[in-house]
């Protein structure tokens, strides 16, 4: 038998259900793995060993009920989990203890899963690199000088090194997908409203950018775990007025047709990424899909509107959070507000969002899935995004194919595609609104043709 920390969440659940192993054994194996490797990557910020072992013993004392009975999971430090602080990666919130679990945490617990740790993020979740003055920097386990991605970088590094089989993160500008690409794991950014987002500490209600673009989502090492996670996390919660109940499976398209996105105006997509996209197309074609290169509508305008939506909120938010964040981050956020005019008509911005969403839905009527880059850059040095001269341009160039997921609300799977020059490479698979099932179907077919590279021992 492979080591327990190498197993997927579903594999661990099956082992516990069959009583081949106990929940205590599984939890202890992951606690031991944290002790062994976290010092090399700084991904897990708080270890919940005592409560996790107590929960594991309770799980072993009763019959398995939920789909993740006795399986450990970790939680990003901007998601409420009672008994630990929701720090958002800033010293001012080091003791900010929630009074209720976030809906996603409550649903994981109801499914039988056991929290074993909290994971790192950048300050207020507002960078593509995971570093903050409270917890320090999370190192990319493949190359310590490169970014681990952000903002769910702690989750991705913990998964990549076997410290957890399942993680909870969130995404307003690629924060589930960015670190998945950098660390070589998989994640699902769901349709806006599919999975509820809510906290128990003020402010309970955020601005339009959060309402329109922020989602919670699962991070794992397998597509099957993503699918299972979606089934647990999805559905209406009254704490999130935008959340809905919607079918997880839709009608199969008349033609299984995939668009390969190998050209993005203004981007120099790395050769390794282009090779991964084409490899994915070859695998799908062998599985009976029609595959064509195609260009989704108005990508540059999509990114422009993403910036406008953020800027409208950030014009007020950045001065409010300035006392809590470092000066370099404040500089970049201020530059973003200046770059995307916050005084543009809010009505005009959201009318444009609607128009672009219609165009993309029409595109998906022809191509049920679109496969392209996660990042249009290779992972870069960990502090490059804070350079006061080049940092903002680097960010905007990197996420050219990330922004449609947020501003248009689309579901997307970030999928690893092996290694290139010793680093993970990967793709992103988009589908139309509420069609996570199609993105996951394509991802699962592609995953079957690619060797899994994680968990790994981190580079030291």
Per-residue pLDDT of the chain (460 residues; tens, 9 = 90+): 589 999 999 999 999 999 999 999 999 999 999 999 999 999 999 999 999 999 999 999 999 999 999 999 999 999 999 999 999 999 999 999 999 999 999 999 999 999 999 999 999 999 999 999 999 999 999 999 999 999 999 999 999 999 999 999 999 999 999 999 999 999 999 999 999 999 999 999 999 999 999 999 999 999 999 999 999 999 999 999 999 999 999 999 999 999 999 999 999 999 999 999 999 999 999 999 999 999 999 999 999 999 999 999 999 999 999 999 999 999 999 999 999 999 999 899 999 999 999 999 999 999 999 999 999 999 999 999 999 999 999 999 999 999 999 999 999 999 999 999 999 999 999 999 999 999 999 999 999 999 999 999 999 8
Assess if residue 45 is contained within a domain.
yes
Report the Cα 243 to chain-centroid distance in Å: 18
**H helices, E strands: number in the chain:** 15, 11
Helix (H, G, I), strand (E, B) or coil at 417: strand
> Which pLDDT belongs to residue 2?
84
294 closest CA partner among 364, 230, 245:
364
CA distance 448 to 425: 16
Structural domain total, the chain:
1
> Which pLDDT belongs to residue 460?
86
Nearby residues of 343 by Cβ (< 8 Å), 6 or more positions away = none
Tokens of 226: 């993503």
368 closest CA partner among 272, 252, 209:
252
Assess if residue 49 is contained within a domain.
yes
> Which pLDDT belongs to residue 362?
98
CA distance 27 to 67: 16
> Which pLDDT belongs to residue 343?
92
Assess if residue 362 is contained within a domain.
yes
Assess if residue 100 is contained within a domain.
yes
CA distance 135 to 154: 11
Tokens of 29: 């194996």
Assess if residue 350 is contained within a domain.
yes
Confirm if 90 and 133 have CB atoms less than 8 A apart: yes
Assess if residue 234 is contained within a domain.
yes
CA distance 447 to 138: 27
- Cα→Cα distances 10→6, 137, 162, 214, Å: 12, 30, 15, 27
CA distance 164 to 451: 20
Question: Residues with catalytic annotation?
Answer: 76, 151, 175
Assess if residue 175 is contained within a domain.
yes
pTM listed for this prediction: 0.98
Q: Which domain CATH number covers 278?
A: 3.90.1300.10
> Which pLDDT belongs to residue 1?
59
Domain range for residue 96? 4-301+331-447
> Which pLDDT belongs to residue 38?
98
Angle at 86 between CA 84 and CA 92, to 5 degrees: 115
CA distance 107 to 95: 24
Assess if residue 322 is contained within a domain.
no
């Amino acid at each position: 038998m492979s080591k327990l920390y190498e197993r997927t969440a579903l594999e661990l659940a099956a082992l516990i259900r069959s009583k081949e192993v106990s929940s205590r054994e599984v939890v202890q194996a992951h606690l031991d793995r944290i002790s062994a490797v976290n010092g090399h990557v700084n991904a897990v910020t708080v270890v919940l060993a005592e409560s996790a072992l107590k929960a594991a013993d309770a799980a072993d004392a009763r019959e398995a009920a939920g789909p993740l009975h006795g399986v450990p999971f970790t939680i990003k430090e901007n998601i409420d989990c009672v008994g630990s602080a929701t720090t958002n990666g800033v010293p001012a919130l080091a003791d900010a203890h929630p009074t209720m679990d976030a809906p996603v945490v409550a649903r994981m617990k109801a499914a039988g899963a056991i929290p074993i740790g909290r994971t790192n993020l950048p300050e207020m979740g507002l960078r593509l690199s995971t570093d903050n003055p409270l917890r320090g920097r999370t190192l990319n386990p493949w190359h310590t000088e490169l970014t681990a991605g952000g903002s769910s970088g702690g989750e991705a590094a913990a998964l990549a090194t076997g410290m957890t089989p399942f993680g909870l993160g969130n995404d307003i500008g690629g924060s589930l997908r960015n670190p998945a690409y950098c660390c070589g794991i998989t994640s699902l950014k769901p349709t806006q409203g599919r999975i509820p987002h809510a906290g128990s500490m003020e402010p309970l209600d955020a601005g339009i950018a959060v309402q329109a673009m922020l989602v919670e989502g699962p991070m794992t090492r397998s597509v099957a775990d993503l699918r299972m996670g979606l089934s647990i996390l999805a559905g209406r919660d009254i704490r999130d007025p935008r959340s809905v109940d919607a079918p997880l499976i839709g009608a199969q398209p008349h033609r299984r047709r995939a668009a390969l996105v190998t050209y993005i105006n203004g981007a120099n997509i790395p050769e390794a990424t282009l090779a991964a996209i084409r490899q994915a197309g070859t695998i799908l074609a062998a599985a009976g899909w029609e595959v064509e290169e195609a260009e989704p509508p108005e990508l540059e305008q999509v990114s422009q509107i993403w910036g406008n939506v953020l800027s409208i909120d950030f014009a007020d938010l950045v001065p409010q959070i300035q006392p809590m964040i470092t000066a370099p981050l404040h500089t970049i956020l201020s530059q973003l507000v200046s770059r995307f005019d916050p005084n543009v008509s809010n009505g005009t911005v959201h009318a444009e969002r609607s128009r672009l969403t219609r165009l993309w839905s029409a595109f998906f009527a022809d191509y049920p899935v679109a496969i392209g880059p996660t990042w249009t850059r290779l992972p870069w040095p960990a502090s490059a995004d804070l350079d006061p001269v080049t940092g903002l341009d680097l960010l905007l160039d990197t996420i050219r194919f990330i922004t449609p997921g947020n501003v248009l609300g689309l579901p997307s799977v970030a999928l690893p595609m092996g290694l290139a020059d010793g680093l993970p490479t990967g793709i992103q698979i988009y589908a139309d609104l509420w069609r996570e099932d199609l993105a996951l179907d394509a991802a699962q077919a592609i995953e079957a043709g690619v060797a899994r590279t994680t968990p790994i021992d981190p580079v030291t």
